[in-house]
Structure 1
Amino acid sequence: MFESLKKKFSRTSEKLEEELIEEAEKEDNLQEESGKKFSFFSFGRKKEEKVEEDESNLLPQAEDIVEEESVDEAEEEIVEETSEDESVEEVKEEKPGLLARLRGSSAPEEEVEEEIPEEDEVEEEPQKEEKSHFWSRNKDEDKSADGEATGGMFSFVREKTIQEKHVEDILFELEMELLQGDVAMEVATEVVESVKNDLVGKKIKRSNDITEYTFMALKNAVSDIISIPGKSMTEMIEAKKAEGEPLVVMFVGINGTGKTTTIGKLANYYMKKGYTPVIAASDTFRAGAIEQVTYHADNVGVKIIKHKKGSDPAAVAYDAVEHAKAQGKELVLIDTAGRMQTNTNLMDEMKKIKRVSKPDLVIFVGDALTGNDATEQAKKFNEAIDIDGVILTKADADSKGGASLSIGYVIKKPIMFLGMGQGYDDIKEYDSEWMLNQLFSDDEAELEMTE
């Protein structure tokens, strides 16, 4: 999920690091040091381990001694296995080659000697190195198993401060990329302003500091965007149950977003929690719609209230509510006709259903893959009927993440559920902390644990 957003965030960190390191190099304010360079996504996981690793770098000689001792032991075993008729001189000749092989060198000893440059060439090497950028020197280094680079750690001789000039172009580029990723304009602007305010003025000593500060600035900005307060549907069911009333939920949205399937998923979800739902087939404009919602109701074993095609949809919703009250059922799920937000007549019909059934929740169902379109649809429905929350379908297939990041913030209403697949069990109550983990962790095992 959200691979596109992850890449945009990571690139922002990399570009800021390159900008500052290049400037420091020109100022002769940069030096390489031993240690691991943390990747952007490992920072949340590795923050506590960082101190321990930095301390271990203070004793590099001890590690070298251990490594040399293990190599020497291996060499002694090889010497013992050589045949008796081999001379000691032949073994000595082999040792350097064996040592090189044991230390990972694939070139034989003679080839290594041939590659040693002339004295004149040795003098020219530092000049070439001075012309290359520090940050590019280790850019293609392999990464270790824990996702950290094996080289490329730098520190500044004199502490640097992040200034507005360092982030201006980089954040403008981030804003453009967010807009291209279907993030709403006001959300992209808010993220960029928040990151700028967090970064400018930060004092940095090491290149890892840049990565950490950018990681935290982006994470804080996104956290504020996606954390829209609101009660969960489960809490509301319990509150209504205490009053002896069912929770009435009305679903709205355009055709093709997965609204009817989502109703089937929710009926299944709450049945497994011990509640008894009832479904109202209030999309009476199409006979196929009645058949579709009936199919889902039968599959999950839920009672459905339906009338003939062309019947008054508000009457169907009313009957379903009365049935739930009479039978002591805790949840009424009202399906409505999919309609474009620009169709005035159908929007008026939807308002009538709301007046008659008096729902406790009006939920907009949008397709996460449509990005900005889903956000614009939600705005129009909210203006027409005042929705209370959002369910986004197909979130598991959403690589951009624009709708998931934008929709709640734009209409100031919470995302309540996410559709995560085709099965009836593939629905998840929305959790902002889980969403942050999706956006700011590249550890698949960690993500699986949070699901």
Structure 2
Amino acid sequence: MAFESLSDKLQNIFKNLKSKGRLTETDVKNALKEVKMALLEADVNFKVVKNFVNTVTERAVGTDVLNSLTPGQMVIKIVNEEMVSLMGSEKEELKLRPSNELTIIMMAGLQGAGKTTTAAKLAGKFAAKGRKPLLAACDVYRPAAIEQLKVNGEKLGIPVFSMGSSQKPVDIAKAAVEHAKKNGNNVLIIDTAGRLHIDESMMEELVEVKKNVDVYKTVLVVDAMTGQDAVNVATTFDERIGIDGVILTKLDGDTRGGAALSIRAVTSKPILFGGMGEKLSDLEEFYPDRMASRILGMGDILSLIEKAEASVDMDQAKDLEKRFKKADFGFDDYLVYMQQIKNMGGLADIMSMIPGMGSKMKDAPMPDEKSLGRIEGIIYSMTLEERANPNIINPSRKIRIAKGAGVDISEVNRLIKQFEQARKLMKQMPGMMKGGKKGMFGMGSKFKMPF
């Protein structure tokens, strides 16, 4: 889960702050010292941290805050507002030219940041909005880079222009422009080569492409896991070639937070998207307010709704809900439930978007493709009666099920325990199971939890 370490530290600091009835100026300053240390440990730029803490302190030690009925909440509100401001306040779009013109986007970044995959993900986003993208394979140095782009393009149904690895990137880019114009493509995404570190030849190559091709936007792809290094990379690229925005990859891991919280403040360039997984659909628009809310443990209901609408079969979700209400939730339903959750990124990720649930669920087990297959094997080794009524599964039945699935009985016990945890979790969240205006914390009937 993104920012888990930083989020846990900040939540503990604010929990202590809220536990006090009244706050003194000393209480606030001590809490903000801890916030400062948490941000520095998360590899946030030192100057950014210093300015952030000074601004929050200036606002938080005012009489209006300290004399309010909920001073702890007021301080947290100020921290949230300043964190949103730090990341850019408003979501910024990667704007394109009109659809009757060709928009050329050049992707840049270091090797290993996920640039080639991100180029394909971005093309997929544009295709979903009705554009006709073309991917240009200009990384002629990294083994299999061209093939990787072709494979990803094929999966998404997006054409890839390539001239092999023997041509110069600038010549490939120019030929790709002509190809795009001839074939009616209105977005051209150029995947350029990366290096293990910034070097002169890479920069010259990018400058050469920009000189010869009418690049409309230059997008830098950086690995969010590298923290402050990502900020340094962004600064150097912007100074040398000029960038229009940043895509942060690997935001689904326990990112330290340094990149997301520093890049905008240091470079003045917006974070456009966040890579949230390995699937070609795992590219999300970056909302500063939603990200700040998640970091501070306040959840992110809007993103959760969007994930559900994009990933969940609502008819199946409604059916599962009905079964649960009738106490008719069995192992066949559990399989559907797990697939729905997996499609949305995993249980821990979903819970991190629900206010107050993230810390409770951070150790929640979520099966991957391999373990999901084993779980299916166990469930399909049960009789229809056992699947429909799990309460009848006694020790002798467990032994038979384990033998049928070719697994140890401990795995059967583990699955049954997870099943019971899922049922228990659903009982703890009755508000999310309801439709109408009160469903999903007042977000309306269009959202149903997929379990």
1:69-106: CA deviation from partner (whole Å, max 9, x where unpaired): xxxxxxxxxxxxxxxxxxxxxxxxxxxxxxxxxxxxxx
1:171-222: CA deviation from partner (whole Å, max 9, x where unpaired): 2332122111111112211220121011112356889612212111101110
2:98 alignment partner, SS class = helix
1:250 alignment partner, SS class = strand
Alignment of 1:193 onto 2:38:
no
Q: What are the residue-to-residue correspondences of 1:15-26 with 2, within 5 Å?
A: 15-16=16-17
1:119-178: CA deviation from partner (whole Å, max 9, x where unpaired): xxxxxxxxxxxxxxxxxxxxxxxxxxxxxxxxxxx4x6xxx7x43x44344323321221
How much does 1:318 deviate? Answer: 1.2
Q: What are the residue-to-residue correspondences of 1:264-413 with 2, within 5 Å?
A: 264-413=120-269
In 1, the alpha carbon distance for the partners of 2:273 and 2:118 equals: 9
Alignment of 1:261 onto 2:117:
yes
Alignment of 1:183 onto 2:44:
yes
2:274 alignment partner, SS class = strand
What RMSD in Å do the two structures reach over aligned CA positions?
A: 2.4
Q: 1:230 to 1:396 in 2, by over 3 A?
A: closer
1:278 alignment partner, SS class = strand
Larger CA deviation: 200-209 vs 423-432? 200-209
Q: 1:441 to 1:366 in 2, by over 3 A?
A: same
C-alpha contact 1:363 1:389 (8 A) present in aligned 2: yes
Q: 1:441 to 1:14 in 2, by over 3 A?
A: closer
1:416 alignment partner, SS class = strand
- Percent of aligned pairs sharing the same letter: 33
C-alpha contact 1:437 1:447 (8 A) present in aligned 2: no
1:332 alignment partner, SS class = strand
Which AA in structure 1 matches 2:8? K
Question: Hey, what does 2:98 align to over in structure 1?
Answer: 240
Q: 1:298 to 1:355 in 2, by over 3 A?
A: same
In 2, the alpha carbon distance for the partners of 1:449 and 1:310 equals: 47
In 1, the alpha carbon distance for the partners of 2:219 and 2:89 equals: 15
Q: 1:446 to 1:208 in 2, by over 3 A?
A: farther
Q: What are the residue-to-residue correspondences of 1:119-134 with 2, within 5 Å?
A: none
In 1, the alpha carbon distance for the partners of 2:61 and 2:136 equals: 55
Which AA in structure 1 matches 2:88? S
In 2, the alpha carbon distance for the partners of 1:202 and 1:6 equals: 28
Question: Hey, what does 2:422 align to over in structure 1?
Answer: none
Which AA in structure 1 matches 2:98? K
Q: Which has the larger radius of gyration?
A: 1
Question: Hey, what does 2:272 align to over in structure 1?
Answer: 416
C-alpha contact 1:285 1:310 (8 A) present in aligned 2: no
Larger CA deviation: 360-369 vs 325-334? 325-334
In 2, the alpha carbon distance for the partners of 1:449 and 1:322 equals: 41
C-alpha contact 2:45 2:228 (8 A) present in aligned 1: yes
C-alpha contact 2:5 2:254 (8 A) present in aligned 1: no
Which AA in structure 2 matches 1:429? E
Question: Hey, what does 2:386 align to over in structure 1?
Answer: none
Alignment of 1:11 onto 2:15:
no
In 2, the alpha carbon distance for the partners of 1:240 and 1:446 equals: 29
- Could you tell me the TM-score, scaled by structure 1's length? 0.63
C-alpha contact 1:341 1:381 (8 A) present in aligned 2: no
In 1, the alpha carbon distance for the partners of 2:301 and 2:18 equals: 28
Give the gaps of 5 or more residues in structure 1.
22-153
C-alpha contact 2:89 2:289 (8 A) present in aligned 1: no
C-alpha contact 1:194 1:217 (8 A) present in aligned 2: no
C-alpha contact 1:434 1:450 (8 A) present in aligned 2: no
In 1, the alpha carbon distance for the partners of 2:273 and 2:257 equals: 15
2:144 alignment partner, SS class = helix
How much does 1:259 deviate? Answer: 0.6
Match of residue 88, structure 2, among 227, 250, 253: 227
The size of the alignment, in residue pairs, is 306
Give the gaps of 5 or more residues in structure 2.
308-451
1:226-256: CA deviation from partner (whole Å, max 9, x where unpaired): 12668512xx32x432xx3111100011111
Question: Hey, what does 1:218 align to over in structure 2?
Answer: 79
C-alpha contact 1:228 1:409 (8 A) present in aligned 2: no
Alignment of 1:209 onto 2:67:
no
In 2, the alpha carbon distance for the partners of 1:195 and 1:414 equals: 22
How much does 1:446 deviate? Answer: 6.8
- Could you tell me the TM-score, scaled by structure 2's length? 0.63
Which AA in structure 2 matches 1:351? V
Q: 1:197 to 1:205 in 2, by over 3 A?
A: closer
How much does 1:413 deviate? Answer: 0.5
In 2, the alpha carbon distance for the partners of 1:287 and 1:446 equals: 40
Q: What are the residue-to-residue correspondences of 1:138-149 with 2, within 5 Å?
A: none
In 1, the alpha carbon distance for the partners of 2:300 and 2:13 equals: 22
In 2, the alpha carbon distance for the partners of 1:391 and 1:266 equals: 10
Alignment of 1:448 onto 2:304:
yes
1:334-385: CA deviation from partner (whole Å, max 9, x where unpaired): 0000124531122111111111122111111011111111111111111111
